[in-house]
């Protein structure tokens, strides 16, 4: 069945276009068609073609940097010697960032394929990001005794929270489009 708005080929049972969100008009009992305003899918396309790829790349490279101690420069060994547990924290956090990069790519794939669980995955993704963005500075402060909560940390936390809210609202309105198993 082809979308009457954008012409995209959709499965026969689709109630809405998987590309533009328009209702797939079917004749009603009297032969009329229902008119509904199509839901825009530009944010969805931005998420699957740009934002999630960049987020995965950022998390992967951040994980590698954290595991290797690059953030401390040439003094990495000195920091690790001075603060007991810092190396373990950095390795664990780095591995979690790399795992999160994999989860981001998995979520992106589910969103692109309009899978039923995709909207829940994107919310879970931002919840994990928010949790990790809060836990690492807390643990780093506990290990070093230095308050590492700065503008950058607060902005990162707020960005994760804002993205979670935006995506919850956006995908809640379009949950009917995610029908594939």
DSSP notation for 18-47: TTT--B-----TTS-----PPPP-HHHHHI
| 15, 4 Cβ separation under 8 angstroms | no
The set of residues, in sequence order, having a beta carbon less than 8 Å from that of 97 and lying 6+ positions away, is 59, 60, 62, 63, 66, 132
Distance CA 42, CA 170 (A): 11
Kindly tell me the burial class for residue 171, based on how many C-beta atoms sit within 10 Å of its own C-beta (0-12, 13-18, 19 or more). Answer: buried
Distance CA 26, CA 73 (A): 63
Distance CA 147, CA 140 (A): 8
Model confidence pTM above 0.85: no
Give pLDDT tens digits along the chain (181 positions). Answer: 777 666 678 887 777 777 777 777 654 455 444 445 677 889 999 999 999 999 999 999 999 999 999 999 999 999 999 999 999 999 999 999 999 999 999 999 999 999 999 999 998 999 999 999 999 999 999 999 999 999 989 998 998 899 899 999 999 988 888 888 7
Distance CA 154, CA 138 (A): 12
Domain boundary assignment for the chain: 1-28, 42-177
| 69, 90 Cβ separation under 8 angstroms | yes
């Amino acid at each position: 069945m082809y979308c009457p708005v954008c012409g995209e080929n959709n499965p026969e049972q689709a109630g809405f276009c998987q590309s533009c969100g328009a209702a797939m008009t079917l004749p009603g009992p009297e032969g009329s068609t229902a008119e509904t305003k199509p839901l825009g899918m530009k944010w969805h396309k931005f998420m699957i073609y740009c934002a999630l790829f960049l987020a995965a790349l950022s998390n992967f490279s951040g994980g590698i940097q954290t595991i290797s101690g690059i953030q401390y420069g040439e003094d990495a060994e000195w920091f690790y010697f001075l603060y007991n547990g810092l190396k373990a924290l950095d390795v664990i956090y780095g591995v979690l960032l790399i795992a999160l990069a994999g989860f981001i790519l998995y979520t992106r794939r589910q969103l692109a394929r309009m899978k039923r669980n995709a909207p829940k995955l994107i919310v879970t993704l931002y919840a994990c990001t928010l949790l990790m963005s809060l836990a690492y500075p807390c643990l780093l402060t506990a290990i070093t005794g230095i308050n590492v909560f700065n503008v950058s940390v607060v902005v990162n936390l707020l960005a994760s929270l804002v993205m979670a809210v935006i995506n919850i609202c956006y995908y809640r309105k379009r949950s009917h489009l995610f029908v594939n198993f």
